[in-house]
Amino acid sequence: MFEAKFIPQTSTDGRTQSCIGAHWIMPSDNSVIKVQNLQKIFPGDVRAVDSVTFDVREGEVFGFLGPNGAGKTTTISILNTLMLPTGGRAEVLGSDVVTQASKVRKGIGLVPQDLTSDEELTGRENIELQSQLYHIPYAEASKRADELLGLVGLTDSQDRIVKTYSGGMKKRLEFATGLVHKPKILFLDEPTLGLDIQTRTSIWEHIRKLRSESNMTIFLTTHYLEEADGLCDRIAIIDHGKIVALDTSDGLKKAVGGDVIEVEVAECNMDVLEMLKSIKGVTLLEGKCSGNKARIKVPESNVALPLILEGFWNRKVAVLNVAVKKPSLDQAFMEYTGRELRDEDKGNGGKPGVPAAKKGRFGRRR
Ligand SMILES: Nc1ncnc2c1ncn2[C@@H]1O[C@H](COP(=O)(O)OP(=O)(O)OP(=O)(O)O)[C@@H](O)[C@H]1O
Ligand SMILES: [Mg+2]
């Protein structure tokens, strides 16, 4: 078991601890993934995973966000025993990913970033083949295939070869294949990348269903921030191989700043501005009273807004319009990573990047 290392500062959800520029998780008894100082340095000093520490709790949907080349797939590959770390350690379901790899594999399922289904086989055959790899008896495998094909809406096309599937159908098949052996932890590496909104929404539904019906732990990487926002209990942001934040979605949003309140009044003058500045909690007054509109940044709008409205009321200033803007996960992501998208080749200090290796679910480790 790993030792807990804490930096005693503020806590947003009672479990996370923050330090300057990063949030660290307090390991809890029900952790199913424990990662400590994990490292993967590729030849040429490409620090894909650079001393990463975090825990994932049983039954949670854990989001792993980061720009291209941040180290998400590499981390997943190590946790799935597909790749050996160059430093640190990781335990999955109580087993070490290096020394107890086969034990780890029994309890996990992976939907990899790259498609791995056999295109010459039918959808059903792919699922049954995966069942054989897990030594599931035929009768049970057949029943399971029926269930999974139904779950991902491929029952009608189960006997078509995968080559004839659309991209969304292939991705849904990958999802089903990863679930064949009822894993305790399901790793989803970009499960919805490139899919249309209908298919994405249906995959989100599957994830919610799995979570509510089976208490499965889900480790999810995604580029869609609204996906992470809507699905994940907690989110880690990784950049240049380092975890730069780990918290709930609300915690991450709060950490980058408060709510912005825009007020339009009949008359705005210095007295009004002074009143706004004097209200407890107003941390920033953006802009001037131009066009009789003021923009105010506050830690929590539900606390500040009544005081602001009371201030206008006391000065007999009519309020024409009020808008409250909550910080978004996009803002938090930008704050922590400094950009929305990144050219992978420019990551790691401009070192030439190498695309993540194409791998089977549990292929040879490197
Ligand atoms: N087999 C490899 N050999 C050398 N470098 C690699 C290898 N696999 C990944 N890298 C490099 O490691 C870094 C992290 O890659 P990784 O695939 O983990 O990123 P990612 O966060 O999953 O990115 P994306 O969002 O584009 O999928 C990148 O700079 C990548 O080029
Ligand atoms: Mg990746």
Instruction: List the chain domain ranges.
Output: 16-253+334-348, 258-325
| Weakest mean pLDDT among 6-15, 21-30, 81-90, 274-283 | 6-15
Q: Does domain 16-253+334-348 have CATH number 1.10.260.40?
A: no
Give the chain's mean pLDDT.
82
- Structure confidence at residue 125 (pLDDT): 96
Distance of alpha carbon 3 from alpha carbon 36, whole angstroms: 9
pLDDT at 183 over 90: yes
Across 293-309, average pLDDT: 86
Across 130-154, average pLDDT: 92
Radius of gyration for the alpha carbons in the chain, expressed in angstroms and rounded? 24
Residue 98 backbone class (left: φ over 0; alpha: ψ -120 to 50; beta: rest) = alpha
Burial zone of 36 (CB within 10 Å; 0-12 exposed, 13-18 middle, 19+ buried): middle
> Global pTM?
0.76
Higher pLDDT, 43 or 348: 43
pLDDT at 215 over 70: yes
The CATH-assigned architecture of domain 258-325 is 2-Layer Sandwich (3.30)
Residues 6 or more apart whose CB falls under 8 angstroms from that of 241 comprise: 40, 47, 48, 49, 50, 52, 70, 71, 74, 348
Using most ligand atoms within 8 A of CB, pick from 49, 77, 224, 344 the residue to mutate for ligand 1. Answer: 344
pLDDT at 172 over 80: yes
Distance of alpha carbon 48 from alpha carbon 19, whole angstroms: 23
Residue 32's pLDDT band, with cuts at 50, 70 and 90, is very high
Distance of alpha carbon 93 from alpha carbon 33, whole angstroms: 6
Distance of alpha carbon 301 from alpha carbon 127, whole angstroms: 50
Tell me the angle at which helices 138-151 and 123-133 cross, rounded to the nearest 10 degrees: 130
State residue 137 phi and psi, 5-degree precision. Answer: -55, 150
Question: What percent of the chain clears pLDDT 90, i.e. is strictly above it?
Answer: 46
Q: How far is CA 24 from the centre of its chain?
A: 15
Indicate if ligand 1 lies below 6 Å from the C-beta of 323.
Answer: no
Neighbouring CB atoms inside 10 A of 309's CB total: 13
Minimal-distance CA residue to ligand 1 atom 1: 357
**Among candidate residues 63, 136, 73, 80, the one with its CA nearest the CA of residue 361:** 80
Return the H-helix or E-strand segment holding 103. helix 101-107
Residues 6 or more apart whose CB falls under 8 angstroms from that of 283 comprise: 258, 297, 298, 299
**Among candidate residues 46, 177, 86, 77, the one with its CA nearest the CA of residue 123:** 177
Residue 123's pLDDT band, with cuts at 50, 70 and 90, is very high
Indicate if ligand 1 lies below 6 Å from the C-beta of 353.
Answer: yes
**39 C-alpha vs ligand 2 centroid, how far in Å?**
16
| pLDDT tens readout for residues 224-244 | 888 899 999 999 999 999 999
Q: Of 40-54, 257-271, 291-305, which one has max mean pLDDT? A: 40-54
Residue 333 is which amino acid?
A: F
Residue 297's pLDDT band, with cuts at 50, 70 and 90, is confident
- Structure confidence at residue 223 (pLDDT): 84
Distance of alpha carbon 338 from alpha carbon 335, whole angstroms: 5
pLDDT at 344 over 50: no
- Structure confidence at residue 61 (pLDDT): 95
- Structure confidence at residue 290 (pLDDT): 64
Residue 192's pLDDT band, with cuts at 50, 70 and 90, is confident
**287 C-alpha vs ligand 1 centroid, how far in Å?**
42
| Weakest mean pLDDT among 7-21, 36-50, 123-137, 140-154 | 7-21
pLDDT at 10 over 80: no
Across 73-101, average pLDDT: 97
Residue 338's pLDDT band, with cuts at 50, 70 and 90, is confident
Using most ligand atoms within 8 A of CB, pick from 46, 243, 341 the residue to mutate for ligand 1. Answer: 46
pLDDT at 24 over 50: no
Q: How far is CA 39 from CA 33, 161, 238, 243, in A?
A: 16, 40, 13, 12
